[in-house]
Amino acid sequence: MAQQHRFNYLNLSDIQPKDIVFARKRSKISQNELASILGISVRTLESWERGHRKPSRAAQSLLRLFIRAPNLLVTYLT
């Protein structure tokens, strides 16, 4: 049985790389699409997903919204 990924909704101030990857894949959005929606380069998104860099506070706010309500972010930022 596959292990389910669970977000820690009480402490989303510390977004983990796996949270970004999981939310993106759950939403069936490519790295190119999410990077475009967020207004960043694919390389930046890749570095967040790999844990090489940490998103800025502003980017973390957008990522929290994406994790909680991906359709909302996609609708209003595209």
Say what the pLDDT of residue 10 is.
Answer: 42
Say what the pLDDT of residue 18 is.
Answer: 94
What pTM, to 2 d.p., does this model score? 0.79
Say what the pLDDT of residue 43 is.
Answer: 99
pLDDT averaged over consecutive 10-residue blocks of the chain (78 residues)? 52 80 94 95 98 94 91 82
Say what the pLDDT of residue 71 is.
Answer: 87
Say what the pLDDT of residue 3 is.
Answer: 53
Closest CA to 31 of 17, 43, 14, 16: 43
Indicate which CATH number applies to the domain containing 22: 1.10.260.40
Q: Domains in the chain: how many in total? A: 1
Say what the pLDDT of residue 42 is.
Answer: 98
Query: Is 63 contained in some domain?
Result: yes
Q: Residue 22 is part of which domain span?
A: 17-77
